[in-house]
Structure 1
Amino acid sequence: MTDVIQATKRDSTGTAATIRLRRAGNVPAVLYGHGEANEHLSISADQIRGLLRHHSKTIKLTGDVNETALVSDMQWDALGIEVLHLDLIRVNLKEKVEVTVTIETHGEAPGTREGGIFLENIREVDVRCSAGAIPDSLVLDINELHLDEHATAADLQLPEGVELITDPESVIAHIEAPRAEVAAEEEGVADGAEPEVISKGGGEGEEDEEA
């Protein structure tokens, strides 16, 4: 998805100007790339929140600038609630870019009905595709995931034209037996183990000596 964002050019870039900008309900941003001069911009916080809700990676800037840009980086406050700064890279929608995309799990893992616990190991992967075809998320189908089984990045459903960069063998999610159950099984094995028989000397040698 490509959001349309209204942007205003900033004349002042100092700390005091940035503080005033944020107090007015705006977020400072920098647009760069393609060998052109950097543009210091101001974008309303409401538009940034909409961008986050849509999980958009590319945006169409209007207003004082008319560019298509890729959201390169977001700087958050200490609590991870508000976006403090935005880095934007100029792109052509047809050019290849490398981005990080979130993972969505679909379905119900049968392993949870078998007494297991569903655990997610990673929630994002890196992909390469054209800037105009960046997926909002990638789907992992867990309908066939049983107890003690795992799903890897290779199991993700990739749209046409999207190439996986993350190691395909990276484990995304797995079904694990409850720890108490695993501990009980290990204890049972230890209690039921037969003692090891250690022979004294060579048995055959003793028989030969008696003979």
Structure 2
Amino acid sequence: MAVKLKATKREDHSKSATKQIRESGDVPSVVYGKDKEAKAIAVNSIDLVKTVRDEGRNAIISLEIEGDKAEDVMLHEYQMDSIKDELIHADFYIVNMAEEMDVEVPLNLEGEAFGAKEGGVLQQPLFELQVRAKPADIPEQISVDVSELGIGDTIAIADLPKASKYEFLEDADTTVATVVPPDTLDETEEEADENAEPELVGAKDDEEE
């Protein structure tokens, strides 16, 4: 079931009106979709942040636009003020609940890798996975148990449990987690430096002579 979010229409697009919207605690936004006319709206900043925090980045939102019918949307993009750390703009995309779409879903590694306990280093090359699914079937996150991973072991896309309601878009051999041996490169370089002959001051290469 989609979470509800109220919105008002924006008729005045001037800078002063946009500034006033932000000062009132709302976020100037746009809602659009395939074969849909774009609409300028405003949503409450706190309500939007709470919705995304509680429901996830890919949540289906029932956007209740004042004086218009509700639309099933997803938060497509947003802009932040880097200085004030505040939302300053948001884009909502109208979704067709019957059609599949491509989205990025957070990847969460669970457990402590066995190899990490032996001194190895657990690495996570990807923090999000691309999946294709109908809007209502998009998972909130993909969880992977890494507790059995030993040093040198790897988990790839092909190793993940198959899901009937969505599919992964990355190559099957794409690594999502691995445990690598402790880095011994620095020790090797130190030994090489100790065994190297001292360089002669003022010496030149043969080509320079």
- TM-score normalised by structure 2 residue count: 0.79
Q: 1:83 — aligned with what?
A: 87
List structure 1 runs of 4+ shifted beyond 6 angstroms. Answer: 185-189
Question: Partners of 1:173 and 1:164 in 2: how far apart?
Answer: 16
Name structure 1 gaps, 5 residues minimum.
192-211
List aligned pairs for 1:115-194, cutoff 5 A. Answer: 115-157=119-161, 159-179=163-183, 181-184=184-187
Residues 85-94 or 124-133, more deviating: 85-94
Name structure 2 gaps, 5 residues minimum.
195-209
1:156 partner letter: L
- Tell me if 1:99 matches 2:100: no
Structure 1 residue 79: Cα displacement? 5.8
Structure 1 residue 94: Cα displacement? 1.8
Q: 1:59 — aligned with what?
A: 61
| 8 Å CA contact 1:138, 1:158 repeated in 2 | no
| 8 Å CA contact 1:121, 1:171 repeated in 2 | yes
SS at match of 1:21: helix
Residues 166 and 39 of structure 1, relative CA distance in 2, 3 Å threshold: same
Aligned residues: 190
SS at match of 1:49: helix
Bigger Rg, structure 1 or 2: 1
| 8 Å CA contact 1:2, 1:56 repeated in 2 | no
Residues 120 and 77 of structure 1, relative CA distance in 2, 3 Å threshold: farther
Q: 2:42 — aligned with what?
A: 42
1:140-178 Cα shifts (integer Å, max 9, x gaps): 121221112222233334542101112232222221223
- Percent identity, aligned pairs only, is 28
Residues 14-23 or 114-123, more deviating: 14-23
Residues 137-146 or 77-86, more deviating: 77-86
Question: Partners of 1:147 and 1:61 in 2: how far apart?
Answer: 48
Q: CA RMSD in A?
A: 2.6
Question: Partners of 2:160 and 2:32 in 1: how far apart?
Answer: 32
1:39 partner letter: K
Structure 1 residue 84: Cα displacement? 2.1
SS at match of 1:98: strand
Question: Partners of 1:80 and 1:166 in 2: how far apart?
Answer: 36
- TM-score normalised by structure 1 residue count: 0.79
Structure 1 residue 22: Cα displacement? 1.3
